[in-house]
Amino acid sequence: MKTVIIGGGIGGIYTAYYLVKYGYTPNDITVIAAEWPPYSKHRLAEVLSEKLSIDYTYIGIYNLLLDKGINVIHGVADKIDITEKKVLLKGGSEIIYDNLVITTGGKPFIPPIKGVNLDNNMTFYDIKDLKKLMKIRGPLRIAVIGAGLVGLTAASALKRIGASVTVYELMEDILPGVIDKPLSSRLKDYLVGKGLRIYTGTRVEEIIGDHRVKGVKASGRIDPADIVVFATGVRPNTGLIKDIGIETVRGVIKIDRTGMTSIKNIYAAGDCALSHDLITGKEVYRPLGFVAAHYARIIARNIIGTKKETRGIVPTIYENIGGAHIVRVGLSLKEAESLGLTPSIRCEETIDQISCTVVEDGAPIGYEAVGFNERIRNKAWQVYYDIHTLYS
Amino acid sequence: MDKYILDIDIEKCNACMRCVFACSLARSGVIDERQAMIKIIVEKGIVIDIAVCRHCDPAPCVNVCEFDALRVEDGRVVLDQSRCTTCKACISVCPFGAIRESYGGELVKCDLCGGDPACVRVCPTGAIKYVPAHMVRTRRISSVAKTIYEYLEKIGGR
Ligand SMILES: Cc1cc2nc3c(=O)[nH]c(=O)nc-3n(C[C@H](O)[C@H](O)[C@H](O)COP(=O)(O)OP(=O)(O)OC[C@H]3O[C@@H](n4cnc5c(N)ncnc54)[C@H](O)[C@@H]3O)c2cc1C
Ligand code: SF4
Ligand code: SF4
């Protein structure tokens, strides 16, 4: 039985890892990877801000997997032939599979506004972006579009290496969808106090320039900028499976609780696929590393034959942004509402921390905290266990 | 053999930093606070926390790690750097703020030095002791905790 994995990111590498761990013959695994060695996007901001070598981003287990004898093709999968059960690679070669795992990840979304094709527009998404930003010298003016987790970590890393940074966010609050209003307001005040310029409720209308970026036009005003970094979200990278009959929802691959797509023996995980929310049981798009790894493990189990269904995901997020600790476990108020619940929120506030519990029918379904001192202690773990006890 | 863990008494700590330096030396051969697996958190001259792993049982961090990077070995909760991707899920659920970021996103947490913790050897006040786990529990928990989180709360809540 041959298993072919398309994509050597987190989902792909950890599918291979768990297969090997559960006893699958390493030599029967082939990873087709456009990028190699595999790295963790979770470390891009740290490596940038601390001016370290990109070696720090590499995922340590790839050497172990190579030593065990898995096969890696450093190349790009071009087509999948489901009747012949083979993958055709760019350049002409092909490879037969019994099980196929699609972990092609995502691609950064860039809003269709005027000027986005000028030089010095970029994203903060992969190792190429990191390499570009590592070359920055001198006090450049950088506009970061989007105040989500990626935008804010990028902004604070860029500020640390000496750039003058302005963040633009369309929504009224920063970290929309991650944390709710009382927390995001306090975090914004804190970050502004640290010298980050943040414009919320501000629509970027155009990137100004001739060949290169010269400025950003937002809500009628023009601010000068040398580089524009888009952190405006992720979309699934599923061009490869278009037209082969795999069911998708708005371009995202639908998978069952074993990680299998609508076609037998073809699995998918990570930023190209949907996942299941533990609390509501609903299918959601959560492009996060631990979601990719969760399904990688489920898929590996099912490929080796020990049938395993996931109960779903409880999001567990931590980020350090400019010295503030952001924690989110379970659902936020907004996400819960978007999933059809009618939650309420209870918050506690001190000088050093603001924390909120999201409650549905008297039971906790989420917890969010932002801390402003060195202490990271909070009650997230309680809510994490409560959710697992209540909903499993 | 009984499992040994660190017994922390914040009140006895005078922030001399010996444990932090010893830990960093033991781990990396240099004195560098960011490489230490223990952190003394001082605010306005008062020690408000000693952030170090309590080797919880069960351990929320081990439950949450999807990357197989945290596991229990002889009662010690250990972090395997080669498997960790710095997704930081474990930081979000650690009750003690005991997992911290070092350089380049590498995470550090206490591994009890394989059974002879350097911090305990140098602590002059007895703020950090290495004792059988049941002693930490019997002193702090009067009745046996019924649920996981009551248990965790009892140790964490002081
Ligand atoms: C800056 C940043 C910070 C983040 N921080 C966190 C964090 O702290 N915690 C967290 O949980 N998540 C975080 N995430 C999200 C996380 O990185 C992603 O969810 C995760 O990488 C998804 O894994 P994946 O395997 O689905 O995709 P990827 O890791 O993107 O891997 C997909 C791989 O497939 C390759 N590929 C695509 N098509 C083909 C093809 N046809 N042939 C061959 N190869 C192909 C791609 O080149 C890529 O290497 C962050 C993301 C970003 C951008
Ligand atoms: S949850 Fe924190 S304190 Fe408990 S074992 Fe894990 S790292 Fe240690
Ligand atoms: S940060 Fe590392 S150790 Fe912690 S949960 Fe993620 S992969 Fe596991």
**Residue B62: CATH number of its domain:** 3.30.70.20
CA distance linking residue A329 with residue B93, whole number of Å: 8
Region B77-104 average pLDDT: 95
- Taking the CA atoms of residue B82, residue A231, residue A324 and residue A345 in that order, the dihedral angle to the nearest 10 degrees is -110
Q: How big is the CA angle at B90 (ends A44 and A257), to the nearest 5 degrees?
A: 95
According to the model, what pLDDT value does residue B153 have?
54
> Which pLDDT tens digit goes with each residue over A66-110?
999 999 999 999 999 999 999 999 999 999 999 999 999 999 999
pTM: predicted TM-score of the whole model, two decimal places? 0.95
> Which pLDDT tens digit goes with each residue over A31-77?
999 999 999 999 999 999 999 999 999 999 999 999 999 999 999 99
Question: Do the beta carbons of residue A326 and residue A370 sit within 8 Å?
Answer: yes
Cross-chain residue pair B68–A319, CB shorter than 8 Å: no
According to the model, what pLDDT value does residue A298 have?
98
Helices (H), strands (E): how many in chain A?
Answer: 9, 27
> Which pLDDT tens digit goes with each residue over A236-271?
999 999 999 999 999 999 999 999 999 999 999 999
Distance from CA of B94 to the nearest CA of A (A): 6
- A177 CB burial (10 A radius; 0-12, 13-18, 19+): middle
Portion of chain A with pLDDT greater than 90, in percent: 95
Mutate to test the pocket of ligand 1, among A104, A238, A241, A316 (most ligand atoms within 8 A of CB): A104
According to the model, what pLDDT value does residue B158 have?
28
Radius of gyration (Cα) for chain A, nearest Å? 22
A298 or B146, higher pLDDT: A298
According to the model, what pLDDT value does residue B90 have?
97
CA distances from A228 to A194, A200, A301 (A): 21, 17, 43
According to the model, what pLDDT value does residue B75 have?
83
Which atom of ligand 2 is nearest the CA belonging to B97?
2
A385 or B134, higher pLDDT: A385
Distance from CA of B75 to the nearest CA of A (A): 20
> Which pLDDT tens digit goes with each residue over A272-297?
999 999 999 999 999 999 999 999 99
According to the model, what pLDDT value does residue B141 have?
36
At residue B146 the predicted structure's pLDDT band, cuts being 50, 70 and 90, is very low
Tell me, what amino acid is at A263? I
Q: Which residues line ligand 1 at a C-beta cut-off of 6 Å?
A: A 6-12, 32-35, 41-42, 44, 76-77, 103-106, 124-125, 150, 237, 240, 270-272, 287-290, 292; B 87-88
Among B41, B92, B147, beta carbon nearest to A329: B92
Coil, strand or helix at A83: coil
At residue B133 the predicted structure's pLDDT band, cuts being 50, 70 and 90, is confident
Q: Is the CB of B92 under 6 A from ligand 3?
A: no
In chain A, residues 258-317 whose CB comes closer than 8 Å to chain B: 288-290, 293-294, 296-297, 316-317
According to the model, what pLDDT value does residue A257 have?
98
Cross-chain residue pair A61–B82, CB shorter than 8 Å: yes
> Which pLDDT tens digit goes with each residue over A214-228?
999 999 899 999 999
B58 and chain A: CB distance < 8 Å anywhere?
no
Cross-chain residue pair A386–B41, CB shorter than 8 Å: no
At residue B150 the predicted structure's pLDDT band, cuts being 50, 70 and 90, is low
At residue B143 the predicted structure's pLDDT band, cuts being 50, 70 and 90, is very low
CA distance linking residue B88 with residue B105, whole number of Å: 9
At residue B152 the predicted structure's pLDDT band, cuts being 50, 70 and 90, is low
Number of domains in chain B: 1
B138 or A73, higher pLDDT: A73
Cross-chain residue pair A61–B84, CB shorter than 8 Å: no
At residue B137 the predicted structure's pLDDT band, cuts being 50, 70 and 90, is low
Q: Is the CB of B88 under 6 A from ligand 3?
A: yes
- B42 CB burial (10 A radius; 0-12, 13-18, 19+): middle
Longest CA pairwise span in chain A (Å):
63
> pLDDT at residue A210 above 80?
yes
What angle do helix axes A380-391 and B148-156 make, rounded to 10 degrees?
A: 170
Rounded to the nearest angstrom, the distance between the alpha carbon of A228 and the centre of ligand 3 is 31
* Domain of residue B64, residue span: 4-154
According to the model, what pLDDT value does residue B147 have?
47
Least confident of A315-319, A373-377, B122-126: A373-377
> Which pLDDT tens digit goes with each residue over A130-166?
999 999 887 899 999 999 999 999 999 999 999 999 9
According to the model, what pLDDT value does residue B151 have?
52
What domains sit in chain A, N to C, each tagged with a CATH number?
3-107+234-304 (3.50.50.60), 121-230 (3.50.50.60), 316-391 (3.30.390.30)
Q: Nearest-CA neighbor of B23 among B111, B127, B119?
A: B119
CA distances from A386 to A116, A196, A310 (A): 46, 37, 18
According to the model, what pLDDT value does residue B1 have?
57
Cross-chain residue pair B92–A318, CB shorter than 8 Å: yes
Least confident of A173-182, A203-212, A378-387: A378-387
Q: Nearest-CA neighbor of A333 among A312, A311, A364?
A: A364
Least confident of A2-16, A286-300, B41-55: B41-55
In chain A, residues 14-73 whose CB comes closer than 8 Å to chain B: 14, 17-18, 21, 40, 42-43, 45-47, 50, 52, 56-57, 59-61, 64
ipTM: 0.96
According to the model, what pLDDT value does residue A44 have?
97
According to the model, what pLDDT value does residue B132 have?
87
Mean pLDDT, all residues of chain B: 86
Region A360-387 average pLDDT: 93
Cα within 13 Å of Cα(B39), Cβ side: 21
Distance from CA of A265 to the nearest CA of B (A): 23
At residue B58 the predicted structure's pLDDT band, cuts being 50, 70 and 90, is confident
According to the model, what pLDDT value does residue B157 have?
37
Q: Nearest-CA neighbor of A224 among A233, A215, A232, A236?
A: A215
DSSP-assigned beta bridge partners for residue A218: A204, A221
Task: Give the ranges where B71-147 is alpha helix by DSSP (H).
Answer: 89-93, 118-122, 133-140
CA distances from A238 to A123, A222, A234, A253 (A): 19, 36, 12, 8
- Taking the CA atoms of residue A196, residue A197, residue A200 and residue A205 in that order, the dihedral angle to the nearest 10 degrees is -130
Region B53-69 average pLDDT: 92
CA distance linking residue A233 with residue A169, whole number of Å: 12
